[in-house]
Amino acid sequence: MPERTFHDSQDTEWLVYDCKPAAGLERGFAPEMQTGWLCFQSEAEKRRLVNYPAEWNHYSSRQLEMLLREAVVASWVSPAAGTPKYVEPPAEEANKDGKER
């Protein structure tokens, strides 16, 4: 998996790399993501771009920033990056008769 870092025009550092679902797990992803996506990650946010050019890893910083602008902000960060996709809500307290409130 190729990866690169670059700085955008606001001097934000971005890590960019391509992602693909693990073999056999493609069906668990939205149809447009089954063949993979380009991930852009900074300290503040993560974005994803589907249907990206195969030669992206040879792009200049300016070209990568153009792709970054097309990318969609990710609604969650993968567990591998330290933030779970889904967090269980806290269990409701049981009242005195043992039933949940």
Q: pLDDT per residue over 56-99, tens digit each?
A: 999 999 999 999 999 999 876 555 544 444 334 445 544 555 55
User: What's the pTM?
Assistant: 0.70
* Per-residue pLDDT reduced to its tens digit, 8-30: 999 999 999 999 888 888 788 77
DSSP state of 84: -
Domain encompassing residue 9: 3-75
The C-alpha atoms of residue 49 and residue 39 are separated, in whole angstroms, by 7
For the record, the structure tokens of 94 come out as 């049981």
The structural domain count of the chain equals 1
The C-alpha atoms of residue 99 and residue 101 are separated, in whole angstroms, by 6
Tell whether 50 is covered by a domain: yes
Tell whether 97 is covered by a domain: no
For residue 4, the cross-strand partners are 16
For the record, the structure tokens of 51 come out as 């249907």
